[in-house]
Structure 1
Amino acid sequence: MDNHRPHPLVIVKLGDTFEALRAQRGDFEHWIADGLDTHALPLLVVDPRRGDALPDPAEVSGAVVTGSHAMVSHREPWSETTAAWLAQLVARDTPVLGICYGHQLLAHALGGEAGDHPQGAEVGTVTVTLDDAAATDQLLHGLPAQFPAHAVHWQSALRLPEGAVRLAGNDHEPVHAFRAGAHAWGVQFHPEFDADVMRGYIDQLAGDLARAGTDPAALREHVVPTDAAAGLLGRFARIVEAHHGV
């Protein structure tokens, strides 16, 4: 056994994109892996929904938790198991990045609360505004004070865990990013989405959006590249690599 081989950076797959998008572009784990762009760490994809065992927390260099079309508040067994595992990682100061569902699950796992957003869904390219605390945050420092990001969510982190630091929000969503401990982050927006994926989501949700009084065509027109948001995946990978000296 090679004791010097780094432990994997785990992508915890808790959802699937729409079939039409998956056929053309792949799925969440592929987009995340592309964004991480790490050659120093092996990547391991596990899907607890399908019975995959989550690895021993002592044998993980870091974890990225994907989005999902499920809801954290439904407390699915696979979701609760993943939440308990995330709490163990945070207790070990293992770097964690939760995206959308993963962001909400991280808040829930550490004693916060996730549930339906009182103002309903946020879909499309939105403007995220950094809090002052982001200026000294290892993941978000140096980003523009405001930047565009792609979002698709009906639920939110309604209450952050004790001691967590809010890092970003906007008029609709008060918590678009937070940090718990030194190396665990949640982002409500999707750094792994590009403009084509965002437009694909709007197209797939067009009927629901129209019934809710939102014009899908207008949302589509406002989709723009989100380079600052997308760069967070690579930043997170560099944090994991540095944390483990690789």
Structure 2
Amino acid sequence: MRQPSRVKNVLLLKAGDAAEHVRRSVGDYEQWFLRTIGLSGYRFDILPVHRDAPLPPDASGYDAVLMTGSPLSVTQLAPWMTRAADFMLTAAERGRPVLGVCFGHQLLARAYGGHVARNPEGRETGTVTVSLTDAGRADALFDGVPEHFEAQATHEDVVIQVPEGARVLAGNRNTAAQALAFRANVRGVQFHPEAPPEALRAVIEARCEGLEAEAVSRGERPGQCVPRLLSGLRPTPAGPRILLNFLERFT
């Protein structure tokens, strides 16, 4: 893939903090993005909006706006979430490309009139297979990505009702709306294109007790869930490609 011809300014809205074990092992959420995308050709401003960091007056100084995942839930809306959502929608209306990841995807869906709720299919964690829809195969976000690809995932909430006018670009059995096109320049992905396998390993280790308890409540034998998830972790080369597609094809 060609390198960007000029330095692009990217505003990364940080929506939460990773667990301490995760931060010690693989860094916090924003570092996953920086390492996966790389700094050659890109300049990032990191804004911890979940800590009420002031938002800029507008996004005119940026080529793109991204939002990270979060351990927090859109279903428990806080004032900072509303402010961040308004900022992203205004940026999009003024022509700035916007990409939401996991929590960011859900916040965009809610802001555009969709509905987010706890997933009735249960938590999705680990390396999962995602399939493109017809719309996804034709979308620039997935240029060069196979119809069925591996992705890292960790979430309990999902977009239950897709906003009017949005197109579903990808899904799987657990989560029908794994990727959405909200507007021509606005995308959301439920999975984590920025996360390498070692990040999911750290997440699973940090949540091992809760994951095991959930598995046992579903009828799984004690002690099987975490080893199964860890052994199933695989590389996900589509992730970096998707992020670079967004930064190169939408800006």
Using the size of structure 1 for normalisation, the TM-score is 0.91
Correspondence list, 1:8-27, <5 A: 8-27=9-28
Q: Distance in 2 between matches of 1:59 and 1:87?
A: 16
1:35 counterpart residue number: 36
Deviations 1:150-186 (A, max 9, x none): 1100001111221111000001100100111112111
Tell me if the contact between 2:179 and 2:189 (Cα under 8 Å) persists in the aligned partners.
yes
Gaps of 5+ in 2: 1-5
Secondary structure of 1:8's match? strand
3-state SS of 2:140 partner:
coil
| Cα separation, 1, equivalents of 2:42 and 2:26 | 24
Task: State the match for 1:146 in structure 2.
Answer: 148
Q: 1:30, 1:237 → 2: CA distance?
A: 17
Contact 1:95–1:184 (8 Å) recurs in 2: yes
CA distance in 1, matches of 2:213, 2:162: 31
Inter-partner Cα distance in structure 2 for 1:157 and 1:60:
28
Give the superposition deviation at 1:6: 7.3
Counterpart residue type for residue 43 of structure 1:
F
Query: SS where residue 60 of structure 2 aligns?
Result: helix
Q: What amino acid sits opposite 1:116 in the alignment?
A: R
Aligned counterpart, 1:208: 210
- Does the Cα contact within 8 Å between 2:97 and 2:186 map onto a contact in 1? yes
Which residue in the other structure is 2:230 paired with? 220
Distance 1:89 1:112 in 2: 19
Runs of at least 4 residues of structure 1 off by over 4 A? none
Local SS of the residue matching 1:45: strand
2:237 paired with 1:235? no
- Per the TM alignment, residue 7 of structure 1 is displaced from its structure 2 partner at its CA by 7.2
- Relative to structure 2, which stretch is displaced further, 226-235 or 124-133? 226-235
Deviation at 1:137, TM superposition (A): 0.5
For 1:171, the equivalent position in structure 2 comes to 173
Which stretches in structure 1 are left out of the alignment for 5+ residues? none
Within 2, Cα distance between the matches of 1:9 and 1:93? 14
Q: Number of residue pairs matched?
A: 237
Amino acid at match of 2:114: G
Question: Which digits, 9 at most, give the CA deviation of each residue in 1:42-86, with x for residues without a partner?
Answer: 211101222211121333321110000000011111111111111
Looking at structure 1, the residues matched to 40 and 233 of structure 2 have their Cα atoms a distance apart, in angstroms, of 31
Answer with 64-73 or 33-42: which moved more: 33-42
TM superposition shift of 1:230: 3.0
Q: Does 1:195 align with 2:197?
A: yes
The 1-side partners of 2:157 and 2:46 are apart by 25
Instruction: Tell me if structure 2 keeps the 8 A contact 1:93–1:181.
Output: no
1:31 alignment partner AA: W
Query: Distance in 2 between the 1:71 and 1:51 partners?
Result: 16
Q: What secondary structure, in the 3-state scheme, does the structure 2 residue paired with 1:22 have?
A: helix
Q: Is the 8 A contact 2:12 2:66 kept in 1?
A: yes
Residue type of the partner of 1:79? M
2:108 aligns with 106
1:114 counterpart letter in structure 2 = V
Task: Tell me which amino acid in the other structure corresponds to 2:109.
Answer: A
Structure 2 CA distance, aligned partners of 1:148 and 1:6? 30
Q: Which residue of 1 aligns with 2:3?
A: none
Write the distance in 2 (CA, Å) between the matches of 1:132 and 1:204: 37
